[in-house]
Chains A and B, each alone.
Chain A
Amino acid sequence: MVMEDPEAPHHMLLLRNFMAQGLVHNQPLLYASPNRDPRGFLGTLPSPAASKDDKSRQRDPDQEKGLRIAWQYKKYFGENQLNFDGQRDGKHEYSNEFDLRKPLERHFLSGQRVECVSFQDCPNLSALQDHCATFLSQFPRNDGNISCVGRIAIQSICAPQCEYSNMEWDMLSFIRSLKSMVRSSNAVAIVTFPPSLLSPSFCKRWQHMSDTLLSVKAIPDEDKELAQLLTGYQDMVGFLNVHKVARINTQVPLILEATTFSIKLQKRRFLVLECLNQAPVDGSSGASYGTSGSCSGSSKTGNLDF
């Protein structure tokens, strides 16, 4: 789940990449949004960037961790080993690089693979739930191999213009049933929501419901303090925080090297996540997070490009 910032549309960048990646790899997609015409959003999906050869194959395991946080959905499919690297090949290289300036080719958006649902005028969420159930029935989880996987993208589920948006228990119950449906099928789902529109207790409940929890934040424009503190401030559009990473069927927690990333648009085409180094802990513990001690930019540029 992604917690939106009401002041910036960064969650849409994440959704775009998620949806485009699925379509490029022939994975059926269900997209639901509160707009009257959700199909219009498909026109803004980015096309895969011209691949730099062999770059994705040569990534060493350390950097895989960063990718694993959000983008390696394979582990949600039941195989829970961390080093599940098999089946990366296929017809397309599994790439995280998309060119935002180039729209996705039309043939990827053809009818069979993409289903769009608008929930603005629905009095409750049962219609959406039925849609999801029908969609997910295409990917039952058998003991055998995974033939086909599906992706669900639900945008701004508690948008205020929806009638059910003040029925908080109903929305929570929908999320719970979506979660159970997704668990028992070969699919993943991203749900975005603006936490400021929920009451605090429900916001907490929703956060607990998620397997992986991210949040995006806008940054103030022309802020001199931030400009001094962060290198590359000029290119940044926001921050991404990783609050929780899915740990299914395991007790071993995942300690992340960094949980805050800056969102940058390189040349306005490529979405880049760079990790902002965490503050050093007090010297007595000895260990310091991150690879460099300063608060400036990053050392991991280029590897989290997507």
Chain B
Amino acid sequence: MAESICRVLRDGALEGEHAPALTIKDSIASPFGFHVFSHVLSQLSSFLFAGKSQSRGLVIVSFSRSPSFYLELLKSKGIDVVSSDKRIQILDCYSDPLGWKDRLIEAGSFTALSHESSVSSTAIVFKNVKYMDKLYNSIIELGRGLVGGGRNRFSVAIDSVDEMLRHASISSVASLLSNLRSHDQVSSVFWLLHSDLHEDRVTSVLEYLSSMVASLEPLHEPANGQRGDLEKFSLIEHNAKKGKFHARFKRRNGRVRLMSEEVRIEQSGINFTSLSSEGAVNQGLAPKVQFNLQLSEKELIDRANVVLPFEHQGNGKPIQIYDGRRSLVDSKQERPVAVTEKVQTNEDSGRGEIIYFRDSDDEMPDSDEDPDDDLDI
């Protein structure tokens, strides 16, 4: 399923369509968002270098990690960004997002450190994170620099939308993301979000803007009730390495595809496996009917206990079927049910009986009498 996500990003946008956009969403209960982001990033990069993706270049907008981190990450996956031809550029919003160093240098109280030469060729420092339009222009510029003009496309990875939201309003961030998606040269966009850092509305907005939402949830929900500390600890430990990974794809035909997997964090990285137990919970949009077509457990048992009015019950013993000729001697009811005709009631009194109340117990059984005989026509 994570592969499906990477494939969608790899295949990119059709002509005249918005670029696919992925939101990776996590929370403190299952904080593996960055692992997933790195995984998607490395997958997309390997597609890129193998020439299998629609995009010819990748721009990484790094807020929460330094550019050298990404270079190392990609190197560990076998992708050497610096030496090979220029396919990846990093817009460094980590080192000096608000341009303080420049101002300090001007004020004379700071001497600039020199960047590593290898990093500076792939990373451009961006100093105006408060201005989303400038950020947008820089991303586009970088991307164009990578792939040239015309119909060539590039992908964009934003490692933390949370940082962007610290500096700018949600509407300007939304505007940037939707402009990226609708730009002719953007093939795909993806970003990471920590949902518990924001109001619900922010998460809804970002989900509205994306065509795929990947969310991470803890495998075992911590209960709110009183639990022993030991139990809590083991839960936390459990959740620390594993989690549930849900994805919602907005498909072109207007339907929504839901998929789930289990995710495990190991030394070598992140691992996706199919859910061990039946996980998919579908609330269902099916119209709710007002009657229950299913039988509950108790009802099933009771039904099995009813003695059917057949001569042969299938267990070898003959059975006397009540045929209306006896009256019930010991009636357990306090007040007899008033009936004008034969009424057969099935009561589940554990065994299943058919209880018949005659009109009056004095009447002789009327086996041969024709009840219409006393009509005076």
Q: Which residues of A contact B (CB under 8 A)?
A: 6-10, 34-36, 120, 159-163, 165-166, 194, 196-197, 199, 217-223, 225-226, 229-230, 237-239, 260, 263, 265, 276, 278-282, 295
Of the residues A160, A237, A276, A281, contact of B208 by C-beta under 8 Å: A160
Nearest-neighbor residue (CB-CB) of B287 within chain A: A279
Nearest CB of chain B from residue A1's CB, rounded to whole Å? 18
Nearest-neighbor residue (CB-CB) of B18 within chain A: A35
Of the residues B178, B249, B256, contact of A161 by C-beta under 8 Å: B178
Interface size on B, residues (CB 8 A): 35
**B291 interface contact, C-beta 8 A:** yes
Q: What CA separation (Å) do A37 and B177 show in the bound complex? A: 17
> What residues of chain B lie closer than 8 Å to A263, measured between beta carbons?
254
Of the residues B182, B254, B282, contact of A218 by C-beta under 8 Å: B254
**B209 interface contact, C-beta 8 A:** yes
Nearest-neighbor residue (CB-CB) of A36 within chain B: B182
> What residues of chain A lie closer than 8 Å to B166, measured between beta carbons?
none
Of the residues A162, A196, A219, contact of B255 by C-beta under 8 Å: A219
Q: Do A197 and B175 touch (CB < 8 A)?
A: no
Of the residues A35, A165, A276, A281, contact of B287 by C-beta under 8 Å: A276
Q: Do A295 and B204 touch (CB < 8 A)?
A: no
> What residues of chain A lie closer than 8 Å to B337, measured between beta carbons?
none
Of the residues A7, A199, A217, contact of B201 by C-beta under 8 Å: A199
Q: What CA separation (Å) do A295 and B288 show in the bound complex? A: 10
The 7 A-B pairs with the shortest beta carbon distances in the complex, nearest first, are A160-B174, A161-B175, A221-B255, A237-B254, A221-B257, A160-B205, A279-B289
Q: Do A279 and B288 touch (CB < 8 A)?
A: yes
- B150-194 interface code vs A (CB 8 A; 1 in, 0 out): 000000000000000000011110110111001000000000000
Nearest CB of chain B from residue A2's CB, rounded to whole Å? 15
Nearest CB of chain A from residue B212's CB, rounded to whole Å? 10
> What residues of chain A lie closer than 8 Å to B345, measured between beta carbons?
none
Q: Do B289 and A160 touch (CB < 8 A)?
A: no
Nearest-neighbor residue (CB-CB) of A283 within chain B: B291
Q: A120-B175, A217-B285, A223-B282 are in contact. Are A166 and B170 (CB under 8 A)?
A: yes
Q: Do B208 and A196 touch (CB < 8 A)?
A: yes
Q: A161-B174, A219-B255 are in contact. List 15 more A-B contacts (CB 8 A).
A: A159-B174, A161-B171, A161-B175, A165-B171, A166-B169, A194-B208, A197-B201, A218-B254, A220-B256, A223-B282, A226-B285, A260-B287, A278-B287, A282-B291, A295-B287
**B250 interface contact, C-beta 8 A:** yes
Q: Do A197 and B205 touch (CB < 8 A)?
A: yes
Q: Do A225 and B284 touch (CB < 8 A)?
A: yes
20 pairs of residues in contact across A and B, judged by CB atoms under 8 Å: A7-B248, A120-B175, A159-B174, A160-B170, A160-B171, A163-B172, A165-B171, A218-B254, A218-B256, A219-B256, A220-B255, A220-B285, A221-B249, A226-B284, A226-B285, A237-B253, A278-B287, A279-B287, A279-B288, A295-B287
**B207 interface contact, C-beta 8 A:** yes
Q: A162-B171, A163-B171, A220-B258 are in contact. Are A35 and B182 (CB under 8 A)?
A: yes
Q: What CA separation (Å) do A166 and B201 show in the bound complex? A: 10
List residues 246-305 of chain B with CB under 8 A from any CB of chain A.
Answer: 248-251, 253-258, 282, 284-291
Nearest CB of chain A from residue B266's CB, rounded to whole Å? 31
Q: What CA separation (Å) do A8 and B287 show in the bound complex? A: 20
> What residues of chain B lie closer than 8 Å to A36, measured between beta carbons?
182
